[in-house]
Amino acid sequence: MATTGAKLAPPLMGQVFDGPSGYTGVAATPEWAQEVKRLARERNATILAHNYQLPEIQDVADHVGDSLALSRIAAEAPEDTIVFCGVHFMAETAKILSPEKTVLIPDQRAGCSLADSISANELRAWKAEHPNAVVVSYVNTTAEVKALTDICCTSSNAVDVVASIDPDREVLFLPDQFLGAHVKRVTGRANMEIWAGECHVHAGINGDELTEQARSHPDAELFVHPECGCATSALYLAGEGAFPADRVHILSTGGMIDAAKAAAERSSRSGGKDAATQVLVATEVGMLHQLRKAAPGIDFQAVNDRASCKYMKMITPAALLRCLVDGADEVHVDPETAALGRNSVQRMIAIGNPGGGE
Ligand code: SF4
């Protein structure tokens, strides 16, 4: 394991180690949290953490949320440096929307298997085969792919985005095949080509597992976060009837937290008789931390506790400390790519309710 150049100020004199799964060597102690906050102030930085981050990263951040909400906070923040604790395409989106700010990600190797499932060259070749098609991309894409896109979408507004396109124009939908299949089924659109991409966490949430969970938890509700790349398979399967429809709630992150608080209140008023006391959550397991904080009386369980994104978990306490000490890794998007990408993101924001991104 190589050590990094990070020189840690007292009282944290530990070393940051650079290993294959990210930076290690620093524990999330109260002294660490204090030092992180001090360094952030010194840099005039605000720390944003995605919902799928490690609990200790969520707890030290200034704001926690989903990718689009965080990008909007980044654009409005008075600080001139944004530390984005999430995966690389999210930090790029923040940079696209705030080109004048310095955007740092604690470990630039934190990628996304869904975003990586189509490259800009693959998209160029696909567009060349369908020269008159309109390109619709889910937000989990690189800045270069966004720049080649006509309209971005989230899962919340994907149906509205596709429905807004002239029915005679062909649509190329990428990169998520589950979301694409869901949109095609709902819109009934025949002239729609779907890229065969997926997130590696998808594989953990399958139809048999969902059906089995419905059978073995007869009173539980199911929360599905539609803006989550890792839950689009659950969204698709819930639509297929793998879980009783009256117990399925398709909710944004904020909506999940509001629903959890409302259920906890109903449950406490009725002495536990009138609301779900168990909720199954079909999303990345990091989301459980915010839900359990919001409604401690409810038993939140993951549909699949292996649904954990290894890239999200690369943002370790050591990586965050190194980022603030060294001012690294900085996210760059060239201005022309950023301008084109911004257009496709802004078109997305204008259609329907885009929700918050993954
Ligand atoms: S959970 Fe999947 S879609 Fe989300 S960041 Fe990780 S790899 Fe990408």
Closest CA to 253 of 296, 286, 208: 286
Show the tokens assigned to 355. 């929700």
Nearest CA to ligand 1 atom 4: 229
Which amino acid is located at 304 in the chain? N
Determine the average pLDDT of the residues in 270-288.
78
Q: Does the pLDDT of residue 232 top 70, yes or no?
A: no
Q: What is the pLDDT of residue 123?
A: 98
Between 35-39, 142-146, 165-169, 261-265, the lowest mean confidence (pLDDT) is in 261-265
Write the pLDDT tens digit of every residue in 205-222.
666 777 788 788 888 888
End-to-end CA distance of the chain: 33
Least confident of 50-54, 68-72, 225-229, 289-293: 225-229
229: DSSP letter:
G
Q: Is 287 in the pocket of ligand 1 (CB under 6 A)?
A: no
Distance of CA 187 to the CA centre of its chain: 25
Amino acid identity at 334 = D
User: How deeply is 327 buried, as exposed, middle or buried, from its count of CB atoms within 10 A (0-12, 13-18, 19+)?
Assistant: middle
pLDDT reading at 260 higher than 70: yes
Integer CA distances (angstroms), 223 to 235, 241, 354, in order: 10, 15, 18
Q: DSSP string covering 198-222, please?
A: --TTGGGS-HHHHHHHHHH-TT-EE
CA 197–ligand 1 middle distance (angstroms): 12
pLDDT at 84: 97
Residues 293-321: what's their mean pLDDT?
91
What are the φ and ψ backbone dihedral angles of 189, each rounded to 5 degrees?
-80, 125
Asked if residue 87 has its Cβ within 6 Å of ligand 1, the reply is: yes
**How many Å lie between the centroid of ligand 1 and the Cα of residue 312?**
8
φ, ψ at 34 (rounded to 5°): -65, -45
Please name the amino acid found at residue 109. R
Q: Whose CA is nearest to atom 8 of ligand 1?
A: 112
Amino acid at 3: T
Ligand 1 within 6 A of 204 CB? no
Say whether pLDDT at 236 is over 90.
no
Distance CA 2, CA 201 (A): 29
d(CA 298, CA 158): 31
Pairing assessment for the beta strands 22-24 and 45-50 based on DSSP bridges: unpaired
- Whether omega for the bond prior to residue 167 falls within 30 degrees of 0, making it cis, is no
Residues 81-133 have pLDDT tens digits of 999 999 999 999 999 999 999 999 999 999 999 999 999 999 999 999 999 99
Torsion angle of the four alpha carbons 98, 101, 102, 107, in this order, in degrees rounded to the nearest 10: -20
Instruction: Please report the atom of ligand 1 found closest to the CA of residue 310.
Output: 6
- Separation between Cα atoms, residue 349 and residue 157, nearest integer Å: 9
Which of residues 357 and 335 earns the better pLDDT score?
335
Q: What is the pTM of this model?
A: 0.87
Residue type, 17: F
C-alpha–C-alpha distance, residues 146 and 162, integer Å: 16
Q: What does the pLDDT look like over 41-54, one tens digit per residue?
A: 999 999 999 988 99
CA distance 98 to 101: 6
- Using the predicted structure, report yes or no on whether residue 227 has a pLDDT greater than 60: no
Residue 59, by phi and psi: left (phi above 0), alpha (psi -120 to 50) or beta? alpha
